Amino acid sequence: MAKEAITTNEDGTKRALSNRHVQLIAIGGTIGTGLFLGAGSTISKTGPSILLVYMLLGVVFFLMMRAIGEMFYSDPSQHTFVAFITRYLGDGVGRFTGWTYWIGLVFLCMAEITAVATYVQYWLPGIPAWLIEVVFLVILTSVNLVAARLFGEAEFWFAMIKIIAIISMIAVGIYMAVVGFKTPFGHSTFTNISNGYSLFPKGVGSFVAAFPMVFFAFQGIEFVSITIGEAKSPRKIIKKAVNETLIRILLFYIGALVVIMAIIPWRQLTAGQSPFVQVFSLAGLPAAAAVINFVVLTSAASALNSSIFSAGRHFYQLAKESSEDSFLHRHFATISKNGVPAAAIIISAALVFVTPLMNITGGLTAVFTLVTSVSSDMYIIVYTLSLLAHRKYRQSTDFLADGFKMPGYKYTSVITIVAFIAIFISLFFVPGSAVPATGAVIWTILFGGWCLIDERRRSSVNVKG
């Protein structure tokens, strides 16, 4: 089969990402450190009922991706889904969403670079965290500046490592369960999952608290849509990537959790330790901790790589949507000879360098933790706005009757929006989550209100003019 030619978009970006790049980026965006390190904590909340939580939210995220995918299918030239929010909900809402999402991405980069340093220090405890952060940040920013294809290659291999780790654990776990492998907890068997089953083994409160935890495990699943503007066959790829989202969630998350609970009865799981390490250790792999540390290191590096890519595209979009005579537009709405928004990538990465400085001074850690939590909570608001934009798209002249349509959108769209609102409300009842959720509400009222007022002011000036 002949290779597809790399074409150039009108704005100078290049469609260099192939189907295999986008498919693996989709998987990489679906699987994060939340599974490798946080599965023990989520299982400890609700026991086997966590499978129900993952399935329900898996469907919700699949529907969200179908809504975003439908808009990208109608106009695959866009680089971010925020462009559709601006188009269908107005400049004010678009500006609020764009800046909110970009700030969230910058803080996500800061969180991931901190995680990278922690994982590297597992092997090299003598090297200061700030130096590790600077080295990784320079390398991955350079990868993003060279070409979209190099970013795609890096994500392909990062995702491959995660997939191999999960499939290996599932295969080992199935073997252990089938042969009744003896562990300190008894014999491995799938009946460990149903023994003494209760929907709310630790109360309704713990069950509800599991929903935000699983939501944040899925956060970032939309990254695949941001690659569509630089994919070779965007319409073909977006359908395949989005439609397989639910299958990937079921295979990798549900499959891994089932195997973990079959090997280790959920009440015996150590919440603070990676269940992957526990399973591989029981299987007789003494180097399990080191292997999983390598996997979570690549997972964090992958998330950092994707976040830099996404942050650069979103800042570029913000610059493009600003007035042509503004500083933002003149300096950041540009594409380099390599076909990437280099200036937007550099300014986004430059802000992440605050993290090494924080580690050198040893200050602002508590503030950083709070702001990161607030920005994560704001993603729920952004996702909800993307669903509202999709509803407006369906009522617009842009709607493609023969496009990649969200199934039963009149009902599924409402169900998805209600689910996101319910998850946000649940944050106020989860210990430690109420303050960040309140911060997200305050940010939305103050900054969102200012954006809407400024939009009305500009509109009235244009009308008078």
Of residues 158, 165, 166, the one with CA closest to residue 298: 158
Average pLDDT taken over every residue of the chain: 85
Comparing CA positions, the residue from 70, 158, 35 lying closest to residue 393 is 70
Residue 6 counted as domain residue: no
Residue 8 lies in a domain: no
Query: What pLDDT does 360 receive?
Result: 77
State the Cα–Cα distance between residues 26 and 48, nearest whole angstrom.
27
Q: Which amino acid does the sequence have at 149? A: R
Exposed/middle/buried for residue 309 (C-beta within 10 Å: 0-12, 13-18, 19+): buried
DSSP 333-376: S---TTSS-HHHHHHHHHHHTHHHHHHHHT--HHHHHHHHHHHH
Buried (b) or exposed (e) across 364-400, using 16+ Cβ within 10 A?
eeeebeebbbbbbbbbbbbbbbbbbbbbbbbeeeeee
Q: Which helix (H) or strand (E) holds 249?
A: none
CB 454 within 8 A of CB 92: yes
What are φ and ψ of residue 101, in 5° steps? -65, -40
Q: What is the mean pLDDT of residues 11-30?
A: 67
Handedness of CA 417, 418, 422, 425 (dihedral sign): positive
24 pLDDT higher than 60:
yes
**Across residues 314-320, what is the average pLDDT?**
90
Distance CA 230, CA 164 (A): 27
For 318, the enclosing helix (H) or strand (E) is: helix 288-321
Across 218-227, average pLDDT: 79
pTM of the shown model: 0.87
Please report the pLDDT score of residue 4 as a whole number: 55
- Lowest-pLDDT choice from 17-26, 146-155, 346-355: 17-26
Q: Which pLDDT tens digit goes with each residue over 30-68?
A: 676 677 777 888 888 888 999 999 999 999 999 999 999
**Residues 44, 271 contacting (CB under 8 angstroms):** yes
Q: What pLDDT does residue 296 have?
A: 85
The closest alpha carbon to 352, from 420, 319, 305, belongs to 305
Q: Please indicate, yes or no, if residue 2 is contained in any of the structural domains.
A: no
- The CATH number assigned to the domain holding 200 equals 1.20.1740.10
Instruction: Name the phi and psi angles at 7, rounded to 5.
Output: -100, 160
Closest Cα partner for 63 from 351, 329, 417, 341?
A: 417
Provide the residue type at 333 as one letter: A
Average of pLDDT values for 8-32?
A: 67
Distance of CA 11 to the CA centre of its chain: 26
pLDDT tens-digit readout, 68-123: 999 999 998 887 888 999 999 999 999 999 999 999 889 888 888 888 888 898 89
**Can you tell me whether residue 330 is helix, strand or coil?**
helix
SS3 187: strand
Q: Residue 7: inside a domain, yes or no?
A: no
Tens-digit pLDDT profile for residues 238-294: 888 888 877 777 788 898 899 999 998 888 887 767 788 888 888 888 788 888 888
What confidence score (pLDDT) does residue 464 get?
59
Q: Which helix (H) or strand (E) holds 7?
A: strand 7-8
Residue 465 placed within a domain: no
∠ CA 165-258-300, nearest 5°, is 35
How do residues 368-384 score in pLDDT, each as one tens digit?
677 778 888 888 999 99
Task: Please report the pLDDT score of residue 242 as a whole number.
Answer: 85
Task: Give the pair of three-digit tokens for residue 25.
Answer: 């980026």
What is the domain count for the chain?
Answer: 1
234 falls in which pLDDT band (50, 70, 90)?
confident
Residue range(s) defining the domain that contains residue 383: 13-460
Neighbours of 350 (CB within 10 A): 12
Best mean pLDDT range from 66-70, 220-224, 328-332, 373-377 = 66-70
Q: What is the mean pLDDT of residues 197-202?
A: 82
DSSP 3-state of 90: coil
Look up residue 350 and give its amino acid.
Answer: A
The pairing of beta strand 7-8 with beta strand 182-183: unpaired
Instruction: Match 């003896």 to its residue by tokens.
Output: 182
pLDDT for the residue numbered 347: 95
| Residue 3 lies inside a defined structural domain of this protein | no
Any domain includes 422: yes
Per-residue confidence at 9, pLDDT binned at 50, 70, 90? low
Q: In this structure, is residue 48 part of a structural domain?
A: yes
